[in-house]
Amino acid sequence: MKKKSHKTINNKCDTLWSKIVRERAGNRCEYCGRQNKMLNAHHIFGRTFLPLRWVLNNGIALCPLHHTFSNTFSAHLAPTEFTFWLVKKRGEEWYKKLRQKTFPDIHRNPLTIKDKEVIYEELKKHSDKDNTIDKRFYKV
């Protein structure tokens, strides 16, 4: 049997998280509404915030332009504009709650492989359903 590693389970969770975030948005950019084969699932709080790495609420589907390339509006090149728009779209309460989750001391209690397997199973349940999870945030 293949040895279990953090890398393998991280990749599995990342892939599934990204798929669900994109499907939940109807495979459209949540900013411009366009469908795009290269749609990205962006982490609102980056993956270094481990407690939020696989939280669906921490994801948003963006086309490459609005994810990375636009100087006037993209999560990476115009983060202030992006955050301003996002908070308006999803609400201040939502942002505040998400932001609070960036604080737990993950280094004292790192996620084990077992923890990550549980997260993976939880994500799988979401993808089995349909793309209605957290739909209240995604009114286009």
Binding residues vs Zn ion (CB under 5 A):
29, 31-32, 63, 66
Shortest distance (Å) from residue 116 CB to Zn ion: 31
Is 49 or 138 the residue whose CB approaches Zn ion more closely? 138
Shortest distance (Å) from residue 107 CB to Zn ion: 35
Is 36 or 58 the residue whose CB approaches Zn ion more closely? 36
Nearest to Zn ion by Cβ — which residue? 29
Q: Closest Cα to residue 29, out of 69, 67, 78? A: 67
Is 66 or 116 the residue whose CB approaches Zn ion more closely? 66
- d(CA 27, CA 61) in angstroms, rounded, equals 7
**42-72 per-residue burial string, b: 16 or more CB within 10 A, e: under 16:** bbbeeeebebbbbbbbbbbbbbebbbeebee
Shortest distance (Å) from residue 44 CB to Zn ion: 16
